[in-house]
Structure 1
């Protein structure tokens, strides 16, 4: 089949500036091009050419200012069996009008059918123009079905994944060696490392972790909270919230470390420095991909019962799930539990890694998507 991927207007592809969608595309594309022709549309970036053919994948890039219209114009002059639109239902009908013979697959990575993001009439038209929808979690799937009369079978949950070869479990000899090297680079020795990786935004909740540290340190005086991330993807500028985080960190001195933005290729190694990874999401998280990464690295996970997070992290089986997500004491207790019950935490981490190998590799994601593409091509928007 001839398949087109249409990325969002936020970040370029490949993931030179990160982004969950772009990282997933990077991971699945090598498997897709083994049997199909793949063209990827994305915005331009100074580090990337406007057009290129790399590893059998055709990349076409347009300026952000005219991106959607440029893509639509190109679709009128190209023939695709399936067009996969990433996370932009508001653009589906524009692309469908330009490529009427193509089947549309729409993947949802956030609550994009919220009335705050798309008008009812436009949403209904997008659903009509789409052959099959996929979502990154059952939570996102249900946000659509609660608002619109969409058949159960029209929306498929396709969880994301990782490249297992990039994530070496911490209990392996290579993992142990890398752990020691990274901890040395961070100026860490025998400290208990609590790791946060994510954008520095209120919705991600690092401020709650900072407020939890007083209680954590009263029980674990050698604990260190490492906060890895920038205000936005690949950006380390400060806003009022980032300034507030640094203000909250002052009383704890060297027990708080900010690393700024960490490129995606460094994340597998950074994870190995941790004794426990914490996702402190305060919003209805669709399902943060960093969960898959921590699971693959074999790091014990604490997450919040928000959005889709708890769909892949099972409480006290593959991690620790916090219901009282806005309460710093709840995080302090969860961190204490993981640090004290080391053998139990390691057992959770090993089960997590096993789940990744069984279900959450990019090869699994690509296989599930290819089945969707084949079905969509046959349907040709019968709904």
Structure 2
């Protein structure tokens, strides 16, 4: 099988920093290429080659300042070539042009969130039209699959899901556990600095945690397209009088070290979290994990088996209780984090993701 993957127009593959969608594309392609030919087409930026060949993966990069020019350049580059299947990641609006160029080729949309099938990015009517043009729609969680079927019943028969994965060799526990007598308690968060990620809830929870554990501090990895929101978060941290370190964008190669720098990972998502790859990375890294019980997160974190879930995730107090329980009960924290690592190794590898995706495309 020769698979073409069309990446979004914003970030090159592989991504220099951030770019979770582009990172997923690259990791999945690497695994599929052990048995199949894969071509990725993505955004070109200065200092990136126009073409890279990595084993059986060919990456072609084209310029494009916006979706329209990028898509036009993509079509020009791939027109007239043969592919057995075309996968479009996170851009349902691309399907129409790609289908016109390849009317007899099966086309799938791989969705990583609800963002590009919902306002303000698109209308529900337009999303339905775009999704209907695809032969297959793949979500990254059962939760996202159910959301698609519920909101777009006319295309429900086309919808499937495949969980994402993690590099279990790259993301691994630190070799020496910090002793329970250690005075530091470092809380980690990783993700975009946007309102729906729930960082203000986490900051207020950290303030409550510090009443029981005065040494508690917060480290945040992630960037934002809106400097004003980061300024608001810094002002909030100052008003709450909590120690917060903003690490900014952390490279993919730097993330394993970031996870190993903490004692606990918290994912306080306030909106629908389709999958939550950061949770899988944290669990693979041996971190006790606390997260909102929403979206696809409960498919990864099983409460009191491999982490703790917060049902009332709007409440800082609800989060603080779970965070304190991990800090006070290191035996429980170690037991759950060990099980988390085992569960990730068994269920959430990139090899498993690639195998399931290929099975869908071949059948």
Q: Same fold (TM over 0.5)?
A: yes
Secondary structure class of the residue paired with 1:333: helix
Residue of structure 1 in register with 2:330 after alignment? 342
Secondary structure class of the residue paired with 2:169: helix
* Inter-CA distance 227–18: structure 2 relative to 1 (3 Å threshold): closer
Partner deviation per Cα, 1:323-343 (whole Å, 9 max, x = no partner): 221221112111111111211
- Answer yes or no: is 1:131 the counterpart of 2:135: yes
- Answer yes or no: is 1:54 the counterpart of 2:54: yes
Partner deviation per Cα, 1:257-299 (whole Å, 9 max, x = no partner): 2222211111111111211100111111112210110111110
Q: Within 2, Cα distance between the matches of 1:133 and 1:206?
A: 31
- Answer yes or no: is 1:231 the counterpart of 2:243: no
Kept in 2, the 8 Å contact 1:105–1:133? The answer is yes
Partner deviation per Cα, 1:307-349 (whole Å, 9 max, x = no partner): 2212211111111111221221112111111111211122111
Residue of structure 2 in register with 1:31 after alignment? 31
1:148 alignment partner, one of 148, 152, 155: 152
Residue of structure 2 in register with 1:266 after alignment? 254
Residue of structure 1 in register with 2:170 after alignment? 166
Instruction: Please list every run of 5 or more consecutive structure 2 residues that lacks an aligned counterpart in the other structure.
Output: none
Kept in 2, the 8 Å contact 1:113–1:143? The answer is no
Kept in 2, the 8 Å contact 1:11–1:17? The answer is no
TM-score w.r.t. length of structure 1? 0.87
- Answer yes or no: is 1:243 the counterpart of 2:231: yes
Instruction: Please list every run of 5 or more consecutive structure 1 residues that lacks an aligned counterpart in the other structure.
Output: 181-188, 233-237, 376-383
More displaced stretch, 101-110 vs 65-74? 65-74
Q: Within 2, Cα distance between the matches of 1:190 and 1:121?
A: 55
Residue of structure 1 in register with 2:80 after alignment? 77
Residue of structure 1 in register with 2:4 after alignment? 4
Residue of structure 2 in register with 1:186 after alignment? none
Secondary structure class of the residue paired with 1:273: coil
Give the superposed CA RMSD. Answer: 2.1
Secondary structure class of the residue paired with 1:84: strand
Shift, 1:129, TM fit: 2.9
TM-score w.r.t. length of structure 2? 0.92
Shift, 1:148, TM fit: 2.0
Kept in 1, the 8 Å contact 2:33–2:56? The answer is yes
Shift, 1:153, TM fit: 5.2
Residue of structure 2 in register with 1:183 after alignment? none
Secondary structure class of the residue paired with 1:166: coil
2:300 alignment partner, one of 312, 335, 338: 312
Shift, 1:64, TM fit: 2.3
2:161 alignment partner, one of 146, 157, 160: 157
- Answer yes or no: is 1:367 the counterpart of 2:360: no
| Count of aligned pairs | 357
